[in-house]
Structure 1
Amino acid sequence: MPLAPLLVIAGVLGLAIGSFLNVVIHRVPRDESLVHPGSHCPNCGHTIRNRHNVPVLGWLLLRGRCADCNTPISARYPLVEAGTAVLFVAVAARFGWSWELPGYLYLAAIAIALALIDLDVMRLPNKIVLPSYPVAVALLVPAALLTGDPGALLRGAVAAVLLYLLYRLLGAWGMGGGDVKLAPLLGFYLGWLGWGAVAIGAFAGFLLGGLAGAVLLLTRSAGRKSRIPFGPYMLAGAFLAVFAAVPISDWYGTLLSASAY
Structure 2
Amino acid sequence: MTPLLVVAALFGLAVGSFLNVVIHRVPAAMSLSRPGSHCPACDHPIRTRHNVPVVGWLVLRGRCADCRAPISVRYPLVELATAVLFVGIAWRLADLDLLPALPALLWFTAMGVSLTMIDLDVRRLPDAIVFPSYGVIAALLVTAAWIGHDPAALLRAAVGAVALFAGYFLLAFFYPGGMGFGDVKLAGIVGGVLGFLGYPVLLVGAFAAFFIGAFVGIAKVLVSRGTAGRSLAFGPFMIAGALLSVFVGPTVADVYSRLALGG
Return closer, same or farther for 1:112/1:47 CA change in 2, 3 Å cut-off.
same
1:60 aligns with 2:58: yes
User: For residue 35 of structure 2, what is the aligned residue in structure 1?
Assistant: 37
User: For residue 180 of structure 1, what is the aligned residue in structure 2?
Assistant: 184
- Aligned mates of 2:106, 2:225 — CA distance in 1: 34
Secondary structure at 1:170's aligned position in 2?
helix
Aligned length: 257
User: For residue 155 of structure 1, what is the aligned residue in structure 2?
Assistant: 156
- Aligned mates of 2:27, 2:134 — CA distance in 1: 20
The alignment's C-alpha RMSD in Å is 1.4
Extract unaligned runs of 5+ from structure 1.
Answer: none
1:28 aligns with 2:29: no
1:235 aligns with 2:239: yes
- Aligned mates of 2:229, 2:8 — CA distance in 1: 42
Which of 205, 214, 218 is the aligned partner of 1:214? Answer: 218
Deviations 1:145-203 (A, max 9, x none): 12111111111111111111110111031201110000010000010011111110010
User: For residue 199 of structure 1, what is the aligned residue in structure 2?
Assistant: 203
Where do residues 240-255 of structure 1 align in structure 2 (5 Å cutoff)? 240-255=244-259
The two structures have a TM-score, normalised by structure 1, of: 0.95
Secondary structure at 1:71's aligned position in 2?
coil
Which of 14, 17, 21 is the aligned partner of 1:19? Answer: 17
Identity level (%): 54
Where do residues 29-178 of structure 1 align in structure 2 (5 Å cutoff)? 29-96=27-94, 98-171=99-172, 172-173=174-175, 174=177, 175-178=179-182
Segments ≥4 residues shifted beyond 4 Å: 221-225
- Aligned mates of 2:19, 2:225 — CA distance in 1: 28
* Aligned-partner residue type, residue 101 of structure 1: L
Return closer, same or farther for 1:150/1:59 CA change in 2, 3 Å cut-off.
same
What's the CA shift for 1:250? Answer: 2.0
* Aligned-partner residue type, residue 196 of structure 1: P
- Aligned mates of 2:223, 2:255 — CA distance in 1: 33
Which stretch shifts more, 184-193 or 145-154? 145-154
Deviations 1:218-250 (A, max 9, x none): 222885573210000000000111111121122
